[in-house]
Amino acid sequence: MSKVILITGTSTGLGVSIAVQAAQAGHEVYATMRNLDKRATLDAAADAAGVTLNVLPLDVQDSATINAAVEEVIAKSGRIDVLINNAGAGFVRSTEQATEEDIQWVMDVNYMGVVRCTKAVMPHMRKQRSGHVLTVSSVGGLVGQPFNEIYCGAKFGVEGYMESMASYITPSFGIHFCVVEPGGIQSEFAASVLKQVEQSGGMLDDEYLPILQKYIGGAQSRQNEGIYQTSDEVAAVVMECVNSDTPPIRKRTSDWAEAFCGLKTDLDPDGQKLQAQVVKQFLS
């Protein structure tokens, strides 16, 4: 069945792949981005795939643009079946080195952006008594990693936010919540992280430098360990969840990601057992 899907962060990488694959599956897609001047990559991918996308401005840091985009979708299509929170930003810097502005920016884009967009669609989904909010998280939402503590903290927050909403909104209103957890993605995302390091002062010559050099120096060897997937591969997992009548609470996107998070997820890989326990504990 065709669904009306609203996607954030579709100017590059994973967002482009999700938008195109969703349209190829026959869904009505509203692809959004902060700056429509950067839509060339999306348009080219849509043309190559022979699909049509509705493209709207939406800045996850600006509630006014979020609400305007949601209202336009409702006005044109009458409903929103799926929200895909894809917009996000990486950040590599130790806590001591990060400025307060850095930290606020990372949390605002990666956590508050998800909250703002989810809040905007909830009244419509609740009225429908159906819907699906899917958020692209990361294995960094389950496992803390060197120099990624600010980013991982934001993603841990997203995981808790989505899991909490699933505990009472899903059984009460039929709205599903899901986090998709990739490892590395071969896209502009990784390049943007390194660019961000340089723009925020580069590698600082302090006691953290040799540790950071070890971390970055191992990136090449990690590429040969199966960490990195293409955007299309991750998007295919996202679409599996979108098309499921009973989507998981959480879903890793590769064998590597599954193994990496195994110590935390083996007893309850998709999060459904824990959700049932929470519902029984607090709402039965």
Which residues are annotated as catalytic? 151
- How far, in Å, are 10, 15, 131, 195 from residue 35 at the CA level? 10, 14, 27, 19
> What are the phi and psi torsion angles at 79 (to 5°)?
-165, 165
Token pair 């959004």: residue: 32
Q: Are 248 and 170 in contact (CB under 8 A)?
A: no
Owner of token pair 């905007």 = 120
> Residue 141 carries which DSSP code?
G
Instruction: Give the C-alpha separation, 132 to 245, whole Å.
Output: 10
Residues 284, 279: Cα–Cα separation, whole Å: 7
- Encoded amino acid at 275, one letter: Q
Location of structure tokens 């930290």 = 103
* Distance from C-alpha of 252 to C-alpha of 179, rounded to nearest angstrom: 9
- The arrangement of strands across the sheet holding 175-181 comes to 54-57, 28-33, 4-7, 82-85, 131-136, 175-181, 250-252
Q: For residue 126, what is the enclosing H or E element? A: helix 113-128
How many whole angstroms separate alpha carbon 260 and alpha carbon 217?
20
